[in-house]
Chains A and B, each alone.
Chain A
């Protein structure tokens, strides 16, 4: 729902970093979005495309890696991954005691600059 404000944060971070490194153009940026982050990749890609004009990232390609939700069971130590946006119980032993180990990401990995 707030993909535009996420895109603005992203643009601010990468343009600042690019100038700091002494480059003048961003050609590509790679980010990770967790399935349980609440952010829709398509909507974020659209928002980024809409706001990047007139910036040093004007021609930048946005590459999104989606991270599935992964949990680790505190009772039976099973590690499990799901395509869903939430986990209710360990699929091996049905325990409700587990920790989320991946799937909440909203991170920048790297970018290609010139």
Chain B
């Protein structure tokens, strides 16, 4: 007996993502799914963002969900800034999924936040495929990873609304071709917004915060 199924394999995940998004919209918080390979500087970007929003006395209220396979190091780094943070340990899974986010929503003061960053597990492949209910995906690439990454990992560049190129202070010490990174990334995704920053020196972070402030008003 043949039975038609006609279902997306990730349908269950997508359904929970829609519910998460409804809760985020209701609370008026703009949600960014932050993705990159391990060590590109996701947590450092959040630390710099918090440092500068606090020193500039902007009234941008930021909360963070930290996704890691194991450990609480990242959440502890964020907690120092007094920002609401929840750590998720995936216990081996290579990405966050919508249900993991749904389970921790009650632990965050969503209504009082302007932006919630969901820092995904460090991985340039899988996180791009699982919606978690975000308004947009933002990815990081550090110059030390090399300029071949857009064409090697096209999906993440295509799914992201913005690309933050980190560690630009190290570019002179590497053979990285910045023009090629930007050209290939824009070929894959002509609408991609690109920022060049150094989370070590703070370079470029002001532009990034100005953009965050602008997009968060849309929530």
Binding site for B on A (CB under 8 A): 1-2, 5-6, 9-10, 12-14, 17-18, 21, 23, 29, 31, 36-38, 85-86, 88-89, 96-97, 106-114
Q: In the complex, A113 Cα to B1 Cα: how many Å?
A: 5
Q: With A10-B9, A107-B8, A107-B9 known to touch, is A114 a contact of B1 (CB < 8 Å)?
A: yes
Tell whether, in the assembled complex, residue B3 and residue A17 are in contact, meaning their CB atoms are under 8 Å apart. yes
Q: With A86-B151, A113-B1 known to touch, is A108 a contact of B6 (CB < 8 Å)?
A: yes
Binding site for A on B (CB under 8 A): 1-13, 93-95, 97, 123, 125-126, 128-129, 151, 154-155, 158, 184, 186-188, 190
Tell me, rounded to whole Å, the shortest Cβ–Cβ distance linking B74 to chain A: 21
Tell whether, in the assembled complex, residue B9 and residue A108 are in contact, meaning their CB atoms are under 8 Å apart. yes
Tell whether, in the assembled complex, residue A1 and residue B188 are in contact, meaning their CB atoms are under 8 Å apart. no
Q: In the complex, A4 Cα to B1 Cα: how many Å?
A: 27
Tell whether, in the assembled complex, residue A106 and residue B10 are in contact, meaning their CB atoms are under 8 Å apart. yes
Tell me, rounded to whole Å, the shortest Cβ–Cβ distance linking B129 to chain A: 5
* A12 proximity list for chain B (CB < 8 A): 12
Q: In the complex, A107 Cα to B8 Cα: how many Å?
A: 4
- Listed by A's residue number, 12 A-B pairs whose Cβ atoms lie within 8 Å are A9-B13, A38-B128, A86-B188, A88-B184, A89-B187, A107-B9, A108-B5, A109-B4, A109-B5, A111-B2, A112-B3, A113-B2
Knowing that A2-B94, A21-B3, A96-B190 touch, tell me 19 more A-B residue pairs with CB under 8 angstroms: A1-B94, A9-B12, A13-B7, A17-B7, A29-B5, A38-B128, A38-B129, A85-B154, A86-B154, A86-B158, A86-B188, A88-B188, A106-B8, A106-B10, A108-B5, A108-B6, A108-B8, A112-B1, A113-B1
Q: In the complex, A2 Cα to B9 Cα: how many Å?
A: 13
Q: Which of B3, B9, B12 contacts A106 (CB 8 A)?
A: B9
Q: Which of B4, B129, B184 contacts A110 (CB 8 A)?
A: B4
Looking at chain A's contact residues, is the secondary structure mostly helix, strand, loop, or mixed? mixed
Q: In the complex, A112 Cα to B5 Cα: how many Å?
A: 10
* A10 proximity list for chain B (CB < 8 A): 9
* A112 proximity list for chain B (CB < 8 A): 1-3
Q: In the complex, A29 Cα to B6 Cα: how many Å?
A: 11
Tell whether, in the assembled complex, residue B9 and residue A1 are in contact, meaning their CB atoms are under 8 Å apart. no
Q: With A9-B10, A9-B12, A12-B12 known to touch, is A110 a contact of B154 (CB < 8 Å)?
A: no
Closest 9 CB pairs of A and B: A86-B154, A108-B5, A88-B187, A2-B126, A106-B9, A110-B4, A108-B7, A1-B126, A1-B125
Q: In the complex, A86 Cα to B154 Cα: how many Å?
A: 6
Tell whether, in the assembled complex, residue A111 and residue B11 are in contact, meaning their CB atoms are under 8 Å apart. no
